[in-house]
Structure 1
Amino acid sequence: MTHNYMRAISLLLFAILILTSCRSEELIRPGDSLEVAYEKAMMQYNEEEYSDAARAFETVISIGRGTDYGQDAQYYLAESYFNSNRYLLAASEYERYAQYHPNSPRREEVDFKEALCYYELSPRYRLDQEYTTRAIESFRLYRTRYPDAERADQAADYISELRNKLAHRDYNAADFYMRTERYNSAAIYFGLVIDNYPESEPWAEQALVRQIESYVLYAENSVPDKQAERYEKALESYNTYLQLFPQGDNRGKAEDLFDRAMAGLGEVDDQSVVESN
């Protein structure tokens, strides 16, 4: 038992020694040439040891700035961060690569990857949307620079997806105002969805119907002197709905709200006639 135990320990220590020795050979050492340092960094990258590779590429950049090795290391440093999901660092390194090497054949890919980093950083619609906005701006800039690139359509799809997220955010804010019975504020925020994201689905169409509803409720809860103008706003929103979404999924609800606004406006007119007599 003791003999077997000691033999197992010896084999384990031997294996650790071999692994440590191999690992040591992969590390950049003082005195390594730039070429050797780059090869060691690429070895770690190809083995998907991205954190170690990033540190190695940083070393190559520091000793090889201005060389082809330094340029390649800058690219693979960004790639190492991207592949390890460290998107903010990756975006910064892609941007740095583009600044230092604006005419590189990799420039188009680097610009796309920088935008993709911000896309990956974009959070759920309820949270701060700074990175969503940056992603949209970056993808738009990419499409402007490379309108015929293979990834141009993919960039357009990302823009559409991210804009839908922003529309959802504004729609959610408007819905909050509706639930707290602040109908005028709700109508304003529903209007932001319509004005800023008219192509968003399904948010723009739903927002316009909810805006009609907001004005109807605003009118119903207003003093008599203000009801007519607020019902009129509901009717204006309804007319806009017919123009933008004649076959909208919520057409039936829009019609019901139109009838409700017309009935309310009729009651206001009748009351005005009574009071004038």
Structure 2
Amino acid sequence: MAGLFLALLISGCGFFDDDGPRQMEKNAEQLAAEGASEFMNENYTAAIRSYTDLKDWYPFSKYAILAELKIADAHFRLEEYDEAVLAYEDFEKLHPRNEAVPYVIHQTGLCWFNQIGTVDRDHAPAMNAMAQFRRLMEQFPQSEYAQDAPDNIEKCINNIAGHELYVADFYLKTKKYKAALKRYQYIVEFYPQAPQSQKALEKIPECTELVKEAELAKAEEEKED
């Protein structure tokens, strides 16, 4: 009897929550239906709870894989993108051959895509989103989820190139001419189709001349010293 009590105590997280004892009489099918109902009614937090119970209590159920995917989807709908990315990535690792993988890659890309900010912000979301959409096109070019990937990639590129141009212009204004020149050249080399490439191209001669002038001025100062 003491052994049973200890076992229940150790696994208490499965039986108790902040509201008291958890009910475990629901079977996998009931939890799947409950999760689906909550999801359809946009009660995503409740859906996560039902699907998590399903996944934890019945890991070998035919509904367990569905639960894993819907947990990720619920986090996505709640705009909890970090949690959604982890859930989608875990799903792909556990089920690399599942037919839902193209959808999972697409959703992972959207998690990052939806976090893209203005050009003066960190461009990591755009980089990560672009990587996912490119992977989707390479691995599943015929998938319906790959259809909007080119447009999304173009938007990512514009954001990344815009960020690079913003930084380059800042360097130019603060007279860090070498750093500015490298940024302008980087834009032209790696994002030639982006609108920012033409602007960078126009800045390169001016920036190159300023670098030369700065180097000459520095050489003159060194001679005087």
- Given the two structures, how large is their TM-score scaled by the length of structure 2? 0.80
Matched with 1:116 is: 110
Q: Which moved more, 1:50-59 or 1:208-217?
A: 208-217
Structure (1 or 2) with the greater helix fraction: 1
Matched with 1:48 is: 42
Give the aligned residue type for 1:223.
L
Give the aligned residue type for 1:166.
I
Indicate yes or no: 2:158 matched with 1:175: no
> What is the CA RMSD across the aligned residues, in angstroms?
2.1
Matched with 1:88 is: 82
Q: Which moved more, 1:92-101 or 1:76-85?
A: 92-101
Matched with 1:5 is: none
Mark the structure with the bigger radius of gyration.
1
Q: CA deviation at 1:221?
A: 5.5
Indicate yes or no: 2:55 matched with 1:61: yes
Indicate yes or no: 2:196 matched with 1:212: no
Q: CA deviation at 1:77?
A: 0.9
Give the aligned residue type for 1:171.
L
Give the aligned residue type for 1:109.
Y
Q: CA deviation at 1:81?
A: 0.9
Give the 5 Å matches for 1:217-232: 217-219=210-212, 223=216
C-alpha distance in 2 between matches for 1:224 and 1:34: 77
C-alpha distance in 1 between matches for 2:136 and 2:153: 11
Name the SS of the counterpart of 1:151 in structure 2. Answer: helix
Give the aligned residue type for 1:72.
L
Give the aligned residue type for 1:39.
A
Q: Is the 8 A contact 2:164 2:183 kept in 1?
A: yes
Q: CA deviation at 1:150?
A: 2.7
Kindly tell me: are residues 215 and 62 of structure 1, through their superposed partners in 2, closer, same or farther at Cα, counting changes over 3 Å? same
C-alpha distance in 1 between matches for 2:97 and 2:78: 27
Q: CA deviation at 1:43?
A: 1.5
Matched with 2:120 is: 126
Matched with 2:3 is: none
C-alpha distance in 1 between matches for 2:179 and 2:35: 57
Kindly tell me: are residues 105 and 188 of structure 1, through their superposed partners in 2, closer, same or farther at Cα, counting changes over 3 Å? closer
Q: Which runs of 5+ in 2 are unaligned?
A: 1-21, 220-225
Q: CA deviation at 1:225?
A: 11
Which of residues 82, 100, 108 in structure 2 aligns to 1:106?
Answer: 100
Q: Which runs of 5+ in 1 are unaligned?
A: 1-27, 227-277
Matched with 2:18 is: none
Identity %: 22
C-alpha distance in 1 between matches for 2:76 and 2:217: 61
Q: CA deviation at 1:182?
A: 2.8
Kindly tell me: are residues 98 and 224 of structure 1, through their superposed partners in 2, closer, same or farther at Cα, counting changes over 3 Å? closer
- Given the two structures, how large is their TM-score scaled by the length of structure 1? 0.66
Kindly tell me: are residues 31 and 169 of structure 1, through their superposed partners in 2, closer, same or farther at Cα, counting changes over 3 Å? same
C-alpha distance in 1 between matches for 2:65 and 2:32: 11
Q: CA deviation at 1:168?
A: 1.1
Indicate yes or no: 2:137 matched with 1:139: no
Instruction: Work out the number of aligned pairs and report it.
Output: 198
Kindly tell me: are residues 110 and 208 of structure 1, through their superposed partners in 2, closer, same or farther at Cα, counting changes over 3 Å? same
Kindly tell me: are residues 178 and 81 of structure 1, through their superposed partners in 2, closer, same or farther at Cα, counting changes over 3 Å? same
